[in-house]
Structure 1
Amino acid sequence: MLRRLTPLLIQSRTIKHTVDIKWVRPEYIPAYKAERSGDLEALPPIPETALGQDYALSEEIKDAPEAVKKIFSVGHLGKKEYNILVKSHFMDKVRRHQYDENTAETRIARLTGHIRCLQDTMENDPKNVIAKKTVQELIDKRKKLLKFLRQYDYKKFEWLLEKLNIEYKAHPDTYNKLSRKESLRKLTEMHCENIKNKKLDDYRNLLESQQGPFLTKKLEALKFIRNEQMDLQLPITVTEQDIKKVEEQLEEWTIKDEIKQQARKKKRNILLETE
């Protein structure tokens, strides 16, 4: 019976019972959300009165009455024509020339426009499974193109991210399954590391505070030894350079100590004002 109870008693005394660390499972963020896709802005401000891409090229539409223009506007033609204008808006930002359709930057711009449209669709209809699957595939495809451009032309890669207002979030090198046990282990390690660093900082501050009095005593002792050796006509072991070096160290410590004291006074005054 005692042999069976011994492991339980040992486990009850482990660090997870002595350290108060709580772990909460992080909130799940879908892949189409801007936090994971890297899109830093929403759809461009294209009005519903804008003409469709093909109809805007017609010369007759310019002199047509307002009722006719309304029929050929994106507000009347539907979401498909609006999405075409969104893609064209992003592609026009990065085109090399009028007929540039298949370079890496224009393909990324076209994908970005398509992703933004699908993100808007998912915000209005989160249960749209087809749109969710499509936008995840497009985000992965854009990441591959961005990785290619980053490898072969980094300046253009940076320029493209700024133009399209997106953030590159590469796929992680390794995939670790999220679990409570592993997360608690990492949190415990971080907690112990913080305690160690705090104790080291406190000990470092203690030694720095004792450095001034130590250097003062050392300087007095070196001067005394040098004077005694000169008076007794003994071989001089303490040179002027040794004394000068200690004086410089003491001067540096004095300046640093004054700066620390001023910082502490400012912090104390701020705390008193807040109270």
Structure 2
Amino acid sequence: MLRGLTTVCFQTRGVKQLVNVKWVKPEYVPAYKPQKSGDLENLPNISQSSIPEDYALSEHLKDAPETVKQLFSVAHLGKKEYNALVKKELMDRVRKHKYDDDTPETKIAKLTGHIRCLQDTMEQFPRNIKTKVCVQELIDKRKKLLKFLRQYDYKKFEWLLEKLNIEYKAHPEDPHKLTRKESLRKLTEMHCDEIRNNKLADYRNLLESQQGPFLENKLKALKFIRNEQIELKLSITVTEQDISKVEKQLDDWKIRNEQKQELKKKKKKLI
């Protein structure tokens, strides 16, 4: 019925819209953005005066003057050495020992460092098509590794997501294209459901307001029937339990009614 109503409202020409529903086109988010890739953290805080790993092992550099150290620092050597330190910092979070480079978690950490470096580059140069394609390929490769780890070792998968601050977003099993017609149909169904729920709530409130007088009349009728049966010495069909049950229901209704009245008074004061 709702689909037929939607078809009449939005497809037939010359027919006025029966339901006031506004469709808003979803905002486009590029695939390399952290919102799509699932990266909840930016690049780690690495000082520009840091020395790359290959040069840091040199004993001569440790005793060298500050000017020489600045020449071998990340700020002077360039982006490549900085990216290597980013990957190393993320791999150190998950590796088991110094030579742990081929396990799935270290591979994922290395890919994560590479992805975040490329995302930073894309923020500066959003029209770099080559980098855009590269970061998308790396994101897809990381998703495959995460899917493998999730399937065979779920505890380590959850631990890895927490360490690297990643949100796992799997590929949809059945990719579905969002259309305006389908969105309007869903919005119309939501609008109709809201109208129906409001009407049901109003009718429920009406019945609850009539419940008190009904219980009072029922209580009087039960007491009258019981007294008449006792006076005429007939078989008693109305017991004391039936009367006490109705009295309890009436007391509960009075308590609920008082609470509703207090809430209405508070709303009026706020308004």
- TM-score category by the smaller chain? 0.7 to 0.9
The aligned residue for residue 202 of structure 2 is 202
> Aligned partners of 1:256, 1:151: CA distance in 2, in Å?
52
Q: Quick check: 157-166 or 29-38, which moved more?
A: 157-166
With the length of structure 1 as denominator, give the TM-score of the two structures: 0.85
Preserved contact between residue 83 and residue 117 of structure 1 (Cα < 8 Å)? yes
SS at match of 1:19: coil
Map residues 24-63 of structure 1 onto 2, 5 A cutoff.
24-63=24-63
SS at match of 1:75: helix
> Aligned partners of 2:58, 2:257: CA distance in 1, in Å?
77
Taking a change above 3 Å as real, the CA distance of residues 149 and 204 of structure 1, as seen in their structure-2 partners, is farther
> Aligned partners of 2:163, 2:262: CA distance in 1, in Å?
46
Post-superposition shift, 1:50?
0.8
Task: Give the letter for the 2:99 counterpart.
Answer: Y
Map residues 152-231 of structure 1 onto 2, 5 A cutoff.
152-231=152-231
Preserved contact between residue 111 and residue 142 of structure 1 (Cα < 8 Å)? yes
> Aligned partners of 1:154, 1:242: CA distance in 2, in Å?
58
Q: How many residues align?
A: 262
Cα-to-partner distance string for 1:234-267 (whole Å, 9 max, x where unaligned): 2222223323333333333333333333333333
Task: Give the letter for the 1:11 counterpart.
Answer: T
The aligned residue for residue 17 of structure 1 is 17
Which runs of no fewer than 5 residues in structure 1 stay unpaired?
Answer: 1-6
Taking a change above 3 Å as real, the CA distance of residues 269 and 84 of structure 1, as seen in their structure-2 partners, is farther
Map residues 226-245 of structure 1 onto 2, 5 A cutoff.
226-245=226-245
Preserved contact between residue 40 and residue 165 of structure 1 (Cα < 8 Å)? yes
SS at match of 2:12: helix
Map residues 59-208 of structure 1 onto 2, 5 A cutoff.
59-208=59-208
Task: Give the letter for the 1:139 counterpart.
Answer: I
Cα-to-partner distance string for 1:51-83 (whole Å, 9 max, x where unaligned): 112222333322221111111111111111111
Cα-to-partner distance string for 1:178-219 (whole Å, 9 max, x where unaligned): 222222222222221221222122222222232233233323
Taking a change above 3 Å as real, the CA distance of residues 226 and 265 of structure 1, as seen in their structure-2 partners, is same
Task: Give the letter for the 1:74 counterpart.
Answer: V
Instruction: Find runs of 4+ consecutive structure 1 residues off by over 6 angstroms.
Output: none
SS at match of 1:17: coil
Task: Give the letter for the 1:209 counterpart.
Answer: S
Taking a change above 3 Å as real, the CA distance of residues 138 and 214 of structure 1, as seen in their structure-2 partners, is farther
The aligned residue for residue 5 of structure 2 is none
Q: Quick check: 203-212 or 73-82, which moved more?
A: 203-212
With the length of structure 2 as denominator, give the TM-score of the two structures: 0.86
Task: Give the letter for the 1:112 counterpart.
Answer: T
Taking a change above 3 Å as real, the CA distance of residues 244 and 100 of structure 1, as seen in their structure-2 partners, is farther
Post-superposition shift, 1:31?
0.7
Post-superposition shift, 1:36?
1.2
What's the C-alpha RMSD, in Å, of the aligned pairs?
Answer: 2.3
Preserved contact between residue 53 and residue 81 of structure 1 (Cα < 8 Å)? no
Preserved contact between residue 115 and residue 139 of structure 1 (Cα < 8 Å)? yes
Task: Give the letter for the 2:224 counterpart.
Answer: F
Post-superposition shift, 1:12?
4.1
Taking a change above 3 Å as real, the CA distance of residues 187 and 48 of structure 1, as seen in their structure-2 partners, is same
Task: Give the letter for the 1:270 counterpart.
Answer: L
SS at match of 1:197: helix
Taking a change above 3 Å as real, the CA distance of residues 18 and 54 of structure 1, as seen in their structure-2 partners, is same
Task: Give the letter for the 1:212 counterpart.
Answer: G
Percentage of pairs with the same residue: 69
> Aligned partners of 1:245, 1:59: CA distance in 2, in Å?
92
